[in-house]
């Protein structure tokens, strides 16, 4: 059970959370930064985890994750140029999938609205005083 004391992480704990975040990103579609943080901090003991409601509460997190990813990508690209090509292709695919997902969400909203309008027009009128 968590206590309500404020938790201040050491640099080593921050590094553990960042490393876990990078591991999570490798095996799952990148969630929101807040979801990624919440998942990554599970690497710490429960009494060292924080209840974070907004990513702004941990301003170091995104910066450290991005720096670590950049460093990793740079070292990989130097060792194998084909990795850069694959990474660029992956980035294009991810952008394309994100655009499709956004469009599907918009279409879902449109279809929901059309369905509501159709059901309102098709439903027989209710007798006075009855729902």
Q: What is the dihedral of CA 76, 79, 83, 85, to 10 degrees?
A: 120
Number of structural domains (the chain) is 2
Residues 98, 69 share a domain: no
Residues 22, 12 share a domain: yes
What's the mean per-residue pLDDT of the chain? 80
Domain interval for residue 8: 1-79
Q: Is position 91 within any domain?
A: yes
Residues 84, 67 share a domain: no
Residues 114, 71 share a domain: no
pLDDT (tens digit per residue) in 58-73: 989 988 988 888 887 7
Residues 95, 52 share a domain: no
| CA distance linking residue 39 with residue 13, whole number of Å | 14
* Across 11-18, average pLDDT: 89
Give yes or no for a contact between 68 and 74, defined as CB atoms under 8 angstroms apart: no
CA separation (Å) from 126 to 26, 41, 72, 120?
56, 55, 66, 12
Residues 7, 54 share a domain: yes
Residues 86, 75 share a domain: no
Q: Is position 127 within any domain?
A: no
Q: What is the pLDDT of residue 123?
A: 63
pTM over 0.75: no
Residues 90, 70 share a domain: no
């Amino acid at each position: 059970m968590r206590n309500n004391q404020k938790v201040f992480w050491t640099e080593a704990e921050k590094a553990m959370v960042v490393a876990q975040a990078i591991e999570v990103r490798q095996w799952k579609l990148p969630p929101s930064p807040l979801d990624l943080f919440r998942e990554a901090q599970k690497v710490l003991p429960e009494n060292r985890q924080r209840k974070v409601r907004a990513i702004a509460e941990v301003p170091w997190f995104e910066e450290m994750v991005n720096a670590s990813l950049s460093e990793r990508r740079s070292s990989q690209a130097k060792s194998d140029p084909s990795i850069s090509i694959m990474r660029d292709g992956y980035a294009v695919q991810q952008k394309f999938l994100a655009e499709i997902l956004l469009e599907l969400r918009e279409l879902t909203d449109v279809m929901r609205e059309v369905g509501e309008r159709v059901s309102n027009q098709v439903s027989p009128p209710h007798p006075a005083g009855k729902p």
